C-alpha cells in the first residue's frame, strides 16, 4: 500500500500539481474550500488570518461545507474551531476562532465540542 501511495504522489507531482491541489480536486472542493483546506494543511489559523489570507468572507460557513465534503468522501479529517476570548482594539471583549484540521479518530471526538458551540 505504501508503495502505491508513493507512486500516486509521484504521478501527482509530475502533473505539476501540489498534493493539496490534487486532494482539492478529488474532494471536489469549491475555490473557497480549497483555499481554506490548503491553508489549514500549513497549520492552525485564526478567523482573521483565513479571511484575509484566503479571501473568505464567511469562514465558519466554508468550514462547515468543507467538513460535509470530507465526511461524504469518507475522509476522517475535520475542520475544528476553538474559540477564545479576545479583546479588540477598542478594549471590548469578544471571541476569536482558531481553525485547525484534525486527523480524525480520538482527536476529532475531542475537538467536536467547540464546533457544536458555534452552531
Go through the domains of the chain in sequence order and give each one's CATH number: 2-118 (1.10.10)
pLDDT of residue 23: 83
Query: Using an 8 Å Cβ cutoff, are 47 and 82 in contact?
Result: no
CB atoms within 10 A of CB 71: 12
- Tens of pLDDT along the chain (119 residues)? 678 778 877 877 788 878 788 888 888 999 999 999 999 999 999 999 999 999 999 999 999 999 999 999 999 999 999 999 999 999 999 999 999 999 985 554 444 444 433 33
pLDDT of residue 87: 93
pLDDT of residue 52: 96
pLDDT of residue 66: 96
Identify the DSSP state of 83.
E
User: In the structure, how many helices (H) and strands (E) does the chain have?
Assistant: 6, 3
The three cell numbers of residue 66 are 468543507
The Cα 117–Cα 41 span in angstroms is 24
Q: 116 to each of 14, 27, 82, 106, how far by Cα in Å?
A: 41, 24, 10, 16
pLDDT of residue 3: 82
pLDDT of residue 115: 41
- Global pTM reads 0.75
Query: Using an 8 Å Cβ cutoff, are 45 and 39 in contact?
Result: yes
Amino acid at each position: 500500500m505504501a508503495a502505491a501511495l508513493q507512486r500516486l504522489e509521484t504521478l501527482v507531482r509530475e502533473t505539476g500539481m501540489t498534493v493539496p491541489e490534487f486532494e482539492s480536486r478529488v474532494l471536489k472542493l469549491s475555490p473557497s474550500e480549497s483555499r481554506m483546506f490548503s491553508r489549514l494543511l500549513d497549520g492552525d489559523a485564526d478567523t482573521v488570518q483565513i479571511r484575509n489570507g484566503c479571501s473568505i468572507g464567511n469562514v465558519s460557513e466554508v468550514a462547515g461545507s468543507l467538513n460535509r465534503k470530507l465526511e461524504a468522501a469518507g475522509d476522517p479529517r475535520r475542520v475544528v474551531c476553538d474559540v477564545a476570548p479576545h479583546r479588540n482594539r477598542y478594549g471590548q471583549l469578544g471571541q476569536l476562532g482558531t481553525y485547525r484540521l484534525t486527523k480524525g479518530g480520538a482527536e476529532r471526538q475531542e475537538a467536536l465540542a467547540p464546533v457544536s458551540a458555534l452552531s
